[in-house]
Structure 1
């Protein structure tokens, strides 16, 4: 079945097996969930990466890498996602 693009919108992803390599960081960060994609603005709340804008094609099993500018902070495996509520999907 084919549905609207809005049905793929994700607002957050819960991570597991998180590895921190960049030290403590408090402030803006970016997250990258596809190897060829650019990092996008996000924030970390506990074990959840919350995207500033909906992301598409994010699925359990993918890696998420967190950055502060060019510096890698760490990352983990996406365990589950939270769908974004968009105007099209509502």
Structure 2
């Protein structure tokens, strides 16, 4: 089994009259992760989310954003939790 990654893997086949050695590596396309390259994570910084992707393809919210898709702004410290709100990180209305 060949797993995706940056490391080259060496394979050897020995026969009666021939020995063959070769190196392979299998890399996922950009923004795809996982052992089958079927996990999509594309960094965003727009209406649909504010996140980057770690080496495993897990979404990591950009500073000032939180939530499942990193779409909720983190309000200024001290902003009232019930009566305060913010659309951009660090503000309070």
If the length of structure 1 is used for normalisation, what is the TM-score?
Answer: 0.20
Structure number with the higher strand fraction is 1
If the length of structure 2 is used for normalisation, what is the TM-score?
Answer: 0.20
Q: Which has the larger radius of gyration?
A: 2
Structure number with the higher helix fraction is 1
